[in-house]
Amino acid sequence: MKFDVLTLFPEMFEPIKQSIIGKAVERELIDINLINIRDFSKDKHKKVDDTPYGGGAGMVMRADVVYDAYKSINSEDAKVIYLTPQGNVLNQKKVENLSKEKHLILLCGHYEGIDQRVIDKIVDEEISIGDYVLTGGEIPAMVLIDSVSRYIDGVLSEGSTSEESFSHGILEYPQYTRPEIFEDMKVPEILLSGHHQNISKWREEQALQNTKLKRPDLLNRQ
């Protein structure tokens, strides 16, 4: 999977080069290419934004600069996504479907957003990571890269995405590891029994109870 990211702040993507995603990049399972939109400003002051037509607060990213940055990418067979609070809200099903694409171009806005004309011209889908406003699309882009990359073959250990929370539409069962006793609290006896059938049954019950308690809304969905 290739991710091209159009952003004014490529340095913001340093954290995603850590841990599991960093390893996946090293192993060439995924490729994350950062394009600095500012490099495409023709202005001597490298300006990328301007005041909104019609008035109002803040600055708007210029259509021509964003378009020139986009045109520097080979976008054949790429899906272009604009991260915006106005987009379709991301969920696990959507993440799984996006992981089937070969090439995603992620457009990150800042300030009051991007001139609508370039959005209309190049964007295939608008996606939001939840109903709140952020200062930029960079964190949502990282959320998308992280969640989608987990579905790329080889990124996680075998079975990690099919077994997990949300793939069955309910929450996870609780996990325990050593020590067997922590601050007077014992690990549930059944997990030490070695009886795999009973353990599976217990975990299913725990997952269902957990969901009823914490996210009852997930159980009333079709």
Residues interacting with ligand 58G, by CB under 6 A?
83-85, 109-110, 113, 128-130, 132-134, 136-137, 140
In 3D space, the residue among 118, 110, 142 whose CA is nearest the CA of residue 129 turns out to be 142
Query: At what angle are helices 19-26 and 138-149 packed, to 10 degrees?
Result: 70
The type of residue at 14 is: E
Q: Up-side HSE of residue 208: CA atoms within 13 Å toward CB?
A: 6
Q: In terms of CB distance, is 4 or 211 closer to ligand 58G?
A: 4
To the nearest whole angstrom, how small is the minimum distance from the Cβ of residue 101 to ligand 58G? 19
What does the alpha-carbon distance between residue 74 and residue 71 come to, in Å, rounded to a whole number? Answer: 7
Q: In terms of CB distance, is 6 or 211 closer to ligand 58G?
A: 6
Q: In terms of CB distance, is 139 or 208 closer to ligand 58G?
A: 139
Q: In terms of CB distance, is 53 or 132 closer to ligand 58G?
A: 132
Under 8 Å between Cβ of 128 and 137: no
To the nearest whole angstrom, how small is the minimum distance from the Cβ of residue 87 to ligand 58G? 7
To the nearest whole angstrom, how small is the minimum distance from the Cβ of residue 86 to ligand 58G? 6
C-alpha separations of 29 from 36, 76, 93, 108, 197 in Å: 23, 20, 21, 23, 35
To the nearest whole angstrom, how small is the minimum distance from the Cβ of residue 82 to ligand 58G? 8
What does the alpha-carbon distance between residue 57 and residue 59 come to, in Å, rounded to a whole number? Answer: 7
Q: In terms of CB distance, is 110 or 150 closer to ligand 58G?
A: 110
